[in-house]
Amino acid sequence: MPTLSIEELSRTFPGVRGGPPTRAIEPTSLRVADNDFLCLLGPSGCGKSTLLRMVAGLDHPTTGRVLLDGEPVAGPGADRGMVFQSYTLFPWLTVEENIGFGLREQGRAAAERRRIAAHYIERVGLQGFERHYPRMLSGGMQQRTALARALANDPKVLLLDEPFGALDNQTRALMQELLLGIWEADRKTVLFVTHDIDEAIFMANRVAVMTARPGRVKSDIAIDLPHPRHYTVKTSPEFSAYKARLTEEIRIESIRAVEMGA
Amino acid sequence: MLKPLVPVSRAAKIALGVAFFALFFLVWCAATLGGFVNRTFLADPITMLSSGWTLLVVHGFYEDIGVTVWRVFGGFAIASAFGVPLGMLMGAYKPIEAFFEPFISFARYLPASAFIPLLILWAGIGEAQKLMVIVIGCFFQIVLMVAVTVGSTRRDLVEAAYTLGARAGGIVRRVLVPSSAPDIAETLRLVLGWAWTYVIVAELIGASSGIGHMITDSQALLDTGQIIFGIVVIGVIGLVSDYLFKMVNRRLFPWSLA
């Protein structure tokens, strides 16, 4: 039984200053099964973030619907945790309080919030930074906190919108290993948006490639690399084969995107 | 030499700040004691200080100071107590903003001092009238500035809170309010400065106590020393309260410091 089901979802943005409306996403269907780690891969401007925002309930589809365990999504909720590309920690709360934010909204007691926060602080390796404010943290640490904050709510689905996009390469690789390790241990259902082919192959067990705008899913490729994955898998022949194939798929779309002036 | 935006050391900052006060004082001394300005129109620093001493010791001027301070903080407190919550509601809920905003934008331009004759008719020349001048002068400004601050809360923080399960009430109380608190505190610091202007204007007309009243009395006596002393007292109190306000803000919102 699929956890998350996207049915004929499309999004058209109204025209700016009397201009023609922009079709961001063609009607698209996608199923994310329980425990799937699905990467949505596409050139920039293809509408992959818009798709994710509609799953989160932060944007409304023009047509179609999103079902979570058979229930239609009407708005944002704690069952779909999200990590954004921009740094969205609450600057007035400490790391520990940020991670406990969702629990507090649920009305959980302070002691329980602290206990759960401590668990996730350990999972993302931020021991010793519990009382730090976000402005005192590096970008990588802020995104680790944001990940812990989303996980602390124990969501059914974890949505990630290029969460490591603003980080440097080394930090980025470590964050990928961290997230993959958490997924291998907890088997959360994950929907991860990225334009980075290596990132997609390394973490996902399925990669859905999107076309240039208006976006739709054009191919859905299973990544059969064994778990647990070590970072050395990135230099294996199997990895290279996937990379060659996805590079080809994405290249065509990137060229189309450039020709359209995106 | 001078490079844009390069910070200055703490010692140099204090020295420079004090230096301008000293320069100002020297120019004043030179103009008055040097005989370049008629003493009837501008008292020299020594006369000013001796007039001030007489005011404090003989005429009980400290009572006037106390009355004025009480009025400023009373009027400011009333304006804040109503203005901040209304501004927050307007910033958070757009229909409420659409309802009040045009009227408050209009009312904001009504000069508080122009209400004084009307307020005297309504409330006499007692304390209520003095407080009302300050409340009118501060309330509308506070409402609008707080509404803008709350309304410009980072949308990505609001969205993040929604995805963490927050509902409307939680968004207002645990995102909009804390994220705009430092800017609201800055707004209040600014408006407190304006309250000092309004109180003196209120005391110039129909008052029997306060710093403004003393200044009008001194005008009748052509005592520019007393007038200047009154003005300096206001400046010093303003400087001290501003500094205290800044310190409290820094204590309350350590997370917002760059």
How much is the pLDDT for A93? 96
Out of B157, B162, B256, the one facing A76 most closely (by C-beta) is B162
Neighbours of A99 (CB within 10 A): 31
Domains located in chain A, CATH noted:
2-79+159-259 (3.40.50.300), 89-154 (no CATH)
State pLDDT tens for residues B18-56: 999 999 999 999 999 888 988 888 888 989 999 999 999
**A91–chain B Cβ distance below 8 A for any pair:** yes
∠ CA A185-A191-A195, nearest 5°, is 115
Chain-chain contact of A78 with B165 (C-beta, under 8 angstroms): yes
Chain-chain contact of A58 with B160 (C-beta, under 8 angstroms): no
Chain-chain contact of B159 with A106 (C-beta, under 8 angstroms): no
How much is the pLDDT for A228? 87
Distance in Å, alpha carbon of A135 to nearest chain B alpha carbon: 7
Point out which residues pair with A158 in neighbouring strands: A81, A190
Contact criterion met (CB below 8 Å) for A176 and A164:
yes
Chain-chain contact of B162 with A90 (C-beta, under 8 angstroms): no
- State the count of interchain CB pairs (< 8 A) between A and B: 74
Mutation target for A interface from B153, B159, B163: give the one with most A CBs within 10 A. B163
Using CA atoms, how far apart are residues A130 and A94, in angstroms rounded to an integer? 7
How many percent of chain A have pLDDT more than 70?
Answer: 98
Point out which residues pair with B243 in neighbouring strands: none
∠ CA A127-A132-A138, nearest 5°, is 85
User: How many residues does this entry show for chain B?
Assistant: 258
Q: What is the largest CA-CA distance in chain B?
A: 74
Interface of chain B against chain A, CB under 8 Å?
Answer: 156-157, 159-167, 170, 174-175, 178-179, 181, 253-258
- Residues of B with CB below 8 A from A82's CB? 160, 163
How much is the pLDDT for A259? 81
Check whether A112 has a pLDDT greater than 90: yes
**Quick one: three-class SS letters along A181-225?**
HHHHHHCCEEEEEECCHHHHHHHCCEEEEECCCCECEEEEEECCC
Handedness of CA A147, B161, A164, A172 (dihedral sign): negative
Out of A91, A106, A146, the one facing B165 most closely (by C-beta) is A106
Mean pLDDT throughout B2-8? Answer: 89
Chain-chain contact of B174 with A86 (C-beta, under 8 angstroms): no
How much is the pLDDT for B138? 95
Using CA atoms, how far apart are residues A190 and A188, in angstroms rounded to an integer? 6
How much is the pLDDT for A262? 52
Chain-chain contact of B159 with A76 (C-beta, under 8 angstroms): yes
How much is the pLDDT for A2? 60
State pLDDT tens for residues B98-150: 999 999 999 988 888 888 888 888 988 888 999 999 999 999 999 999 999 99
Mean pLDDT throughout A151-165? Answer: 93
State pLDDT tens for residues A190-227: 999 999 999 999 999 999 999 888 888 888 999 999 88
Mean pLDDT throughout B181-200? Answer: 92
Domains located in chain B, CATH noted:
55-256 (1.10.3720.10)
Tell me which residue of A45, A41, A10 sits closest to A25, measured CA to CA.
A10
- Residues of B with CB below 8 A from A101's CB? 161, 164, 166, 174
Q: Would you list the DSSP string of B152-170?
A: TS-HHHHHHHHHTT--HHH
How much is the pLDDT for A214? 84
Using CA atoms, how far apart are residues A131 and B194, in angstroms rounded to an integer? 38
Out of B159, B164, B254, the one facing A105 most closely (by C-beta) is B164
Q: How far lies B79's CA from each of A175, A220, B88, B188, in Å?
A: 50, 61, 14, 10
Contact criterion met (CB below 8 Å) for A142 and A86:
no
Q: State the average pLDDT for chain B.
A: 92
- Residues of A with CB below 8 A from B162's CB? 57-58, 75-76
Chain-chain contact of B165 with A57 (C-beta, under 8 angstroms): no
3-state secondary structure of B125: coil
Mean pLDDT throughout A228-253? Answer: 89
**H helix count then E strand count, chain A:** 8, 10
Structure-token pair, residue B9: 């050391």
Chain-chain contact of A150 with B157 (C-beta, under 8 angstroms): no
Distance in Å, alpha carbon of B171 to nearest chain A alpha carbon: 10
Point out which residues pair with A193 in neighbouring strands: A40, A161
Distance in Å, alpha carbon of B180 to nearest chain A alpha carbon: 10
Structure-token pair, residue B142: 């506070």
Q: A 160-219 residues with CB below 8 A of B?
A: none
Quote the DSSP letter at residue A136: G
How many percent of chain B have pLDDT more than 70?
Answer: 99
State pLDDT tens for residues A2-55: 689 999 999 999 888 888 888 888 888 899 988 899 999 988 878 889 999 999
Q: Which residues of A153-192 are buried (b: 16+ CB within 10 A; e: fewer)?
A: bebbbbbbbbbbbebeeebbbbbbebbbebbeeeebbbbb
How much is the pLDDT for A58? 94
Check whether B96 has a pLDDT greater than 70: yes
Using CA atoms, how far apart are residues A172 and A199, in angstroms rounded to an integer? 9
Quote the DSSP letter at residue A229: P
**Quick one: three-class SS letters along B21-60?**
HHHHHHHHHHHHHCCCCCCCCCCCHHHHHHHHHHHHHCCC
How much is the pLDDT for B111? 86
- Supply the Cα-derived Rg of chain A in whole angstroms: 19
Using CA atoms, how far apart are residues B73 and B79, in angstroms rounded to an integer? 10
Mutation target for B interface from A90, A113, A137: give the one with most B CBs within 10 A. A90
Check whether B59 has a pLDDT greater than 60: yes
Q: Which residue of B has its CA nearest to A83?
A: B160
Contact criterion met (CB below 8 Å) for A66 and A110:
no
Structure-token pair, residue B175: 């995102």
Predicted complex ipTM exceeds 0.95 = no
Out of A57, A81, A86, the one facing B156 most closely (by C-beta) is A86
Check whether A109 has a pLDDT greater than 70: yes
Reported as a pLDDT band with limits 50, 70 and 90, residue A118 is very high
3-state secondary structure of B94: helix
Reported as a pLDDT band with limits 50, 70 and 90, residue A160 is very high
**A157–chain B Cβ distance below 8 A for any pair:** no
Q: Would you list the DSSP string of A7-73?
A: EEEEEEEPPSTTPPPEEEEEEEEEEEETT-EEEEE--TTSSHHHHHHHHHTSS--SEEEEEETTEEP
